[in-house]
Structure 1
């Protein structure tokens, strides 16, 4: 239970860190008294691209981190790498608060992106998706009061960075190393201790032979790369999931970051666009269990496409624009959370973590492009609508996984469907 609670907390602090950019890179002419990065360094007109570049730098760093951190985790273990990443996020965030220029700030945000480790504590089960989704929303919404209290962007980045140290401490005290890593490294005695602790809560785990777990994991990993590119159907699934992850990342961060650019109270607009995720994370698991994974992912993309197309014809000052924006955010949030579960059921057991990590790393391409949706008032909506339609259509190339036995190998995944 403590591991689940702490894992949820990591989603909260990661949301605070990632989404604080919505206020840091926004000109706060209609904020309370906060001085943003744009205000301090006059990043307007021909210099406006610099503020967007700091967001892009964070996403590029996250893409690099997907490779660098994952290799470190495979070599040294998930637990020490996770703790180290939280410490580095806190340290780099504190340094960013003292940045003497926007360029230095962007550089430090790039370095923070490398250690942004949400994929290490990803959500792969329907039962936990609601909890982790709510933890993310809590962090997302906490940015609002912090932005209202912070006198300038320096204090805001400091406020969202310090909690990383608290999270690192909790992980050190209560979170064990992953069974996956221990099995691959053939730590049979430690695996036995891990299974004994798990057996206190799950009777069906206590009687598992540790040597069986170790030998099975070792055999699966040794056969992984020899099979990966020999099954074209599985390759198709991977390409579709990479596109969907990119699509959802691009839309999610684009909608979230641009919410502070609406007419009216930017705090209320940002909070509203965040709160719509609550019903999304409650309803999407229910819908997935009733109608299936494929239908939910496809229809939520098509719903998002319809709302974005409607925004093309909606005046900037109309209240319905905010409503359509929130509906689009609801739809894409449903899809985003569903993708985590759906992908974990499509990818076979022996490469599940590797494949999901790869998809998330590739999705940073969408995150890199997200801030540049401000270039034109109409073109971004058309682009969002188009990529959502494509996402909804190609989802039907994926297999349905509801109430079906999950594949253990790539061969099973490609031949079963």
Structure 2
């Protein structure tokens, strides 16, 4: 199927967008008006297979009836009360997230601070580290933790950082996956080491086997916190509740967002052990974080993933997808990396943005986080037949650029 560029209603809406919205994202490639399951429709009526899920957000697809039902029921009962008060949904979601984070360490105390996004969750994590009495932080080359000033200080991309310097310090960057480089700069002046189990924005990059366990060992030896950013990799995206749990590691700080609300804005910063008590009354706050509607969305998402056995499904679908792409033997495909349904198709040439554009024209939503990498992060419910349809089209998309 070949789709025409934006015309008609879509072209008019795009013009309105550029005249009214700050130009932080560039002009939109499409204007979408409806979603159902794993499909999207634009303003001109064209249908697309969504293989990006709103950047790993819509884990249960679009317009999931039970998520909609949970949000609607909560909103019609109680929508917002501020954090001077609590709600049963907030408490229930907090208990579930605390249990997920401490699954490898039963009995370890844990507490959550709710936010509206991954960036805000990381801001909360940053403030926790400052309460240790230390100020040094170690982050990873290739990292991405958000765009607010605190989160940006931990993000390695100079193009993102430099226009907004000076940023909160004192942050040292080391090569991702390099134990020796980390050990060389890690001492008892370091408050925390922050890392992603898989670097999504860097092109779906995994560290060597055993790396997370080694980082846990190194941080514990000097009394530094281990801060794991699971904003993109958590809530089943990689086939486990946390991508880091497969390493047997428990973070002192773990941050979530994206897939937790299936499109409803919600994030969370969970702290464990002594770190769980570092923020006290007045040390941090939020107006909307932990509101009962967001909590209802999070509870619904977790319940559906568990009920439908989606963690195992993600393992199987991800392995099948990677094997199918590899089996194409296309000369422009180097290899496929990642876990579960977070996959990077690594190309032999810097043509990934053009491939993403060709895919969009053909009715597939993907993206290119790096010039040589196409990222796939479809809803966790995506049928095999739809993945097969994309794989069958991929050689033609690669050949077209």
TM-score by length of 2: 0.24
TM-score, with length taken from structure 1: 0.23
More helix by share: 1
